[in-house]
Structure 1
Amino acid sequence: MRRLHRVRRTLNYVNLSTPLGLLVARLGRARRTRGPDGLILAYDYRIPFPVAGAFTVGNVVLTRGQEGCFTEALLRHEGRHASQYMLCVGLPMLPLYVVALAVSVVICGDHAAWNVFERLANLEDGNYTRKSPWWFRPRSS
């Protein structure tokens, strides 16, 4: 494991985002396994919120899917979110993400396309599509 990933793993425990992710995984009755780069992968998450196919809290990546469902690109995307938790000093990431989500919805009607956190994590790696802001779209006649 690279030094950055060890630092991220440690800081996300200290800033309480990974313990929160482990609690969310437990509440969702997800099965946990060790993943690459210090991530913890939690499969079979059973709570219907959030709607995303995968989401990250600290270093914990949760999915409703079965073990082995993560692509390399998606793990890179979720790993970048884990780094964002580290840089946002943990739990402040959650309200900041909600604000970024709302801004994206206002700009283009999509929760991810203009969400700064999703863009910095690489939209395509997260299986999101880029969309133009509403003011650049052609008007319907």
Structure 2
Amino acid sequence: MTGWQWVKLVGNFVNLSTLAGFVVAKIGRARVTRGPRGLFFANGYRVGFPVAGAFTIGNVVLSKHEVSYFADELLVKHEERHSWQYFCLLGLPMLPLYVVGVVVSWLLTGDPASRNPFERMASLKDGGYVERPVQPIGRTVAQAVSALRSRPRGPSGP
């Protein structure tokens, strides 16, 4: 680990974001192991939210997948960049700001990552995202309505 990665590790403990990541890992019954670059991997996360291959809280990278999922060095770098975002935003304020980024990106492109500044700064490509073009909001809303209508309904669904 570099000196700066040590600073980030300590800073994200102090700002409570890494501790929050451990709490979420515990709630999701994930197995926590030490990873590279000052990160902790929480694998086997069992809660269905958020819908993502991996997500980061502080220095904790949570995933429903096994630890081998993080064999991709670019994905690890992507998630480490998110841990830097927590450090720079003094911890948990990152969460509501990230949600705003998701909403804005979805309205502009129909995709939660393409115009989300946090995903763009972490490298869309490294995170496995495909950049979608900006489109009229009416098209985004029509796509959402169409997706809702085509969802299978449960036995007691409307």
TM score, norm. by length of structure 1: 0.94
User: Is residue 2:82 matched to residue 1:81?
Assistant: yes
Query: Are 2:111 and 1:113 aligned?
Result: no
Q: What do residues 50-84 of structure 1 show as CA deviations (whole Å, max 9, x unaligned)?
A: 00010000000000001211111100000000000
Following superposition of structure 1 onto structure 2, how do residues 29-40 of structure 1 map, counting pairs within 5 Å? Answer: 29-40=29-40
Instruction: Please give the alpha-carbon distance, in whole angstroms, between the structure 2 residues aligned to 1:129 and 1:26.
Output: 31
- State, as a whole percentage, how many aligned pairs show the same letter: 52
List runs of 5+ in structure 2 lacking aligned partners.
Answer: 137-158
Query: Which sections of structure 1, spanning at least 5 residues, go unmatched?
Result: 136-141
CA distance in 2, matches of 1:118, 1:3: 25
Q: TM-score when scaled to structure 2? A: 0.84
Q: CA deviation at 1:109?
A: 0.6
Query: Which protein is bigger by CA-based radius of gyration?
Result: 2
Give me the CA root mean square deviation. Answer: 0.6
C-alpha separation in 2, matches of 1:67 and 1:131: 29
| Count of aligned pairs between the two proteins | 135
Runs of 4+ in 1 over 6 A off after TM superposition: none
Structure with higher RCO (Cα < 8 A, 6+ apart) = 1
